[in-house]
Amino acid sequence: MTAFGAPDLAVLLLYMAGVTAWGAWLGRANKGGSDYFLGSRNLPWWAVMLSVVATETSTLTFLSIPGVAYLGTMAFLQLALGYLVGRMVVARVLLPAYYRGQLSTAYALLETRFGTGARRYASGIFMVTRLLADSVRLFATAIPLALITGWSYPVSILVIGAFTLVYTYFGGIKAVVWVDALQMLLYVSGGLIALLLLQGAVEGGWSAIIERASAAGKLQVLDFSTSPAVAYTFWAGLVGGGFLSMASHGTDQLIVQRLLTCRDVRQSQRALIGSGLAVIVQFALFLFVGLGLWAFFDGRAFDSSDAIFASFIIDEMPTGLRGLLIAGVFAAAMSSLSSSINSLASATTYDFWRPLVGRGGGRAAAAAGNDSGVGPGSGSESGSGAAPDDRSAMLAGKVFTLVWAGLLVAGAIIFIPLSQGTAAVEVALAAASMAYGGLLGGFALGVLFQRVSQAGAVIGMTAGVGTVVVIWATARTAVAWPWFVFIGLVVTVVVGLLFRRRQ
């Protein structure tokens, strides 16, 4: 047991209980699949923007990025530049395509172009990738809870999963988005509080921290090295980060689902581009926290880089405030976990279950926007109740919510023995990047090349993902993970173009 006292525990438990109850209450008006998975397409863009940022960064930003700066430099910030460029491309190219069809998942767009097989294959890749990446995120959050309570990692993971599952199960996407917005504000406030405390905790304050960090070369942001083995360079950030953002925000149901809850394409574009600007500020904030921690701890070694900030919060912060900061850690984790559970349940419901039981999801339905009646103004989703088949989609989605929550918890527990000597943020991003290139390549084949067949798209995606997995398994010291998406994209497109239909 640490110095985490009764007042801190009270703050933490009150926060978690309050958020869980509020999130469940937000879903009280859900009538069908459109409400449960798409918020009736009527959520404000600024709330969606905050939800996107909270979903993609979460605990990995709060705990892991300070560890990146602690062990290295500010070069991680170069990725954020590419993230913004990638979002701009998605806002221009893919979002209008999604809204033209009023589609229910990101992968319905592939169905309108290639067929059901391509949609299900891409959705399956998303599910496996999301399960791997977000299991790591969940594990990272168990670190401070285990330090606080003395519980084992498995017990800590189960507690976090249980609280998050309740409001996700009852509240649906409305609860996810609104709770995300609140939780992002909380954990960013936690970062700002940490900066203020470090000002007083380090002799000489931030002027001394900056001076020491500069002398050690830790303030370096731009690295123009052309070596593919170096993860954080200007070129890896601009190209690798750009393509990673195009894939994650243009082809990953986790993010696309949030963007589809906006009223129209212009609101969705505001949410997407605004999130890119917010991420730059957020990354900078937590990298500076890492520099302050490096000065405070005088660069001493920790068992895990993800434990550095958590240790500072638990051992050094005043009573009460410590509880608030730990609540920020859980806010970050719950936002990401709830988003993952809901998006996985959505993809399972609309990409697999619904077509199999014969209730829509077919190619014509997807193209016309009739897949579950989710288009704006569709009568089946509003008013006194939802159409029977849409209500069944919501009920099926709740079952899949339970299933995916269990799988994510199990994945986080499995990651425990693999965590030594790694930063969770890098593990999660590498896991996602291995699949993102193939997904982005599949969308590129569908949007930019009219003569590629469904077989070409599926084989191309398989080749793209397979190539990156082989690189990761055999040559990851020679090729850094930010290049994975670009490599997967190129391989997917080149292979897919071999299967062009004759006109």
At 407-451, the pLDDT tens digits run 999 988 887 766 555 555 566 667 777 888 898 899 889 888 888
Give the residue ranges of the chain where pLDDT is below 70. Answer: 1-4, 58-60, 101-104, 144, 148-149, 332, 358-389, 417-429, 502-503
pLDDT tens for 150-200 read: 778 898 889 888 888 988 898 888 888 998 888 888 888 888 989 999 998
For the chain, state the CA radius of gyration.
22
Q: Can you give the pLDDT at residue 60?
A: 64
Q: Can you give the pLDDT at residue 334?
A: 77
Which residue is it, tokens 């003395």?
150
What does the alpha-carbon distance between residue 404 and residue 303 come to, in Å, rounded to a whole number? Answer: 30
Q: Can you give the pLDDT at residue 222?
A: 86
Q: Can you give the pLDDT at residue 387?
A: 46
Q: Can you give the pLDDT at residue 185?
A: 84
Contact 385, 31 (CB under 8 A): yes
Q: Which of 105, 107, 62, 57 is nearest to 83 (CA)?
A: 57
Q: Can you give the pLDDT at residue 499?
A: 87
Helices assigned H by DSSP within 424-499: 424-448, 454-475, 484-496
User: What number of other Cβ atoms are within 10 A of residue 473's Cβ?
Assistant: 9
Contact 127, 118 (CB under 8 A): no
Longest dimension (CA), the chain: 73
Q: Can you give the pLDDT at residue 423?
A: 57
CA 289, 293, 298 angle in degrees (round to 5)? 155
What does the alpha-carbon distance between residue 126 and residue 104 come to, in Å, rounded to a whole number? Answer: 15
pLDDT tens for 42-91 read: 899 999 999 998 887 766 677 778 988 998 889 888 888 899 999 999 99
Q: Can you give the pLDDT at residue 419?
A: 57
Give one DSSP letter per residue of 88-118, joined into a string. HHHHHHHHHHHHHHT-SSTTHHHHHHT-HHH
Which residues, 6 or more positions from 413, have their beta carbon under 8 angstroms from its beta carbon?
139, 153, 154, 157
- The residues that bridge with 452 in the sheet, in sequence order, are 500
Output the six-digit token pair for 426: 């890098």
Q: Can you give the pLDDT at residue 359?
A: 54
Q: For the chain, what is the mean pLDDT?
A: 82
Q: Can you give the pLDDT at residue 144?
A: 67
- The residues that bridge with 500 in the sheet, in sequence order, are 452
Angle between helix axes 484-496 and 454-475 (nearest 10 degrees) is 140
Q: Can you give the pLDDT at residue 46?
A: 95
Q: Which of 36, 338, 412 is nearest to 167 (CA)?
A: 338
